[in-house]
Amino acid sequence: MAALLEVKDLRTQFQTRNGLVHAVNGISFDLAEGETLGIVGESGCGKTVSALSLMRLIPEPPGKIVGGQAIFQGKDLLRMSPEEIRRVRGAQIGMAFQDPMTSLNPVLTIGRQLTEALELHKGMSRQEARHRAAELLSIVGIPQPTERLSDYPHQFSGGMRQRVMIAMALSCMPQLLIADEPTTALDVTIQAQIVDLVKRLRDEIGMAIIWITHDLGIVAGLAKRVIVMYAGFIIEEAPVKELYAEPRHPYTLGLLGSLLRPDETEHRRLVSIEGLPPDLLGLPRGCPFVPRCVYAVARCWEENPALVAVSQGHKKACWVDAPQGRLQ
């Protein structure tokens, strides 16, 4: 399959009062048409900043995309004029964010927020757009869609607002959906409804998805390939089954070991990753994970390992053969 999106060496930094924060430090990945990619990591690992950078939504200042490329259908998103990127955002790339209360405009009706993109990107008339908006609400499972178009966001529950967000993201049938923790604020039964909906829509319109989350459970059932981020670096990338069955980076190993399963029968002691995530002021000399790593050797403190292939489609950034505890 042809690559829909190719990200090369993306770097984003923020100027703060305490110094320069290195949020994303040269990440590269690609995404095929119709593919679902999961990006996982803990808070502050740079997963959200990566997504915002691709969409050119980094507030500047304090933020700045300092390098890299993001080739989407032959054109570099990072070098488009503001006018060009606006035509891509919402039309070819849809976005759904974590918090539907802050990403919906509280003083516009749901109907207006949905029709705006349709009129702008698809050149529909008011009437056509309204008709389509009602259709979209019914696709995402909102009862009485035509009546609800004139409601405001506060009149919707959390789960329903998230559905509206997804309806907006999908309104122009994008080739790519970027979803940043879209279910994190929701209860599990509502989360299941949303994930089910996204899967159905994905199969119907064949769009690619980048699903950003800290929840390794959701990714297991949704993504085909997974990227694990730590301190602004990609530290492992693998097909989903392989990542869970044979994680190769010590951080991924720890993360999967600390994970609880609803189907666990024997009580076991959780593996915990000791220590804290690094602050991102200044780049580390060695591997960013080394202060918390149980496999660390001298070289890890000196040189930051590059992301290299360990098998077909499986890459890791680590000097050590972690499961065996040997230097490679």
Site string for another protein, 44-83 (x = CB under 8 A): ----------------------------------------
192 is an interface residue for another protein by CB under 8 A: yes
157 is an interface residue for another protein by CB under 8 A: yes
Residue with tokens 């199969």, as numbered in its chain = 203
Out of 154, 263, 312, 324, the only residue in the binding site for another protein (CB under 8 A) is 263
Listed ranges 3-11, 23-31, 122-130, 156-164: which one lies at the site for another protein (CB under 8 A): 156-164
Residues constituting the chain? 328
State the minimum distance, in angstroms, from the CB of residue 251 to another protein.
8
Listed ranges 25-33, 68-76, 214-222, 296-304: which one lies at the site for another protein (CB under 8 A): 214-222
CA–CA separation, 310 and 195 (whole Å): 31
Please give the sequence-ordered ranges of beta strands (E in DSSP) within the chain, or none if there are none. 3-16, 19-32, 36-40, 63-72, 75-76, 93-96, 176-180, 208-213, 225-230, 233-239, 308-311, 314-316, 320-321, 326-327
127 is an interface residue for another protein by CB under 8 A: no
List the structure tokens of 216.
Answer: 């390794």
Do 133 and 115 touch, CB atoms closer than 8 A? yes
- Give the nearer residue to another protein in terms of CB position, either 83 or 263: 263
- Give the nearer residue to another protein in terms of CB position, either 127 or 312: 312
Number of residues that bind another protein (CB under 8 A): 47
C-alpha distances in Å from residue 283, one per residue of 22, 29, 86, 220, 309: 7, 21, 33, 31, 24
273 is an interface residue for another protein by CB under 8 A: yes
160 is an interface residue for another protein by CB under 8 A: yes
The distance from CA 9 to its chain's CA centroid, rounded to whole angstroms, is 17
Do 282 and 232 touch, CB atoms closer than 8 A? no
Footprint on residues 223-242 left by another protein (CB under 8 A): 240-241
324 is an interface residue for another protein by CB under 8 A: no
DSSP one-letter code for 59: -
Q: Rule CB under 8 A: which residues touch another protein?
A: 42-43, 143, 157, 159-160, 187-193, 195-196, 214-218, 220-221, 240-241, 244-245, 254-265, 267, 269-274, 276-277
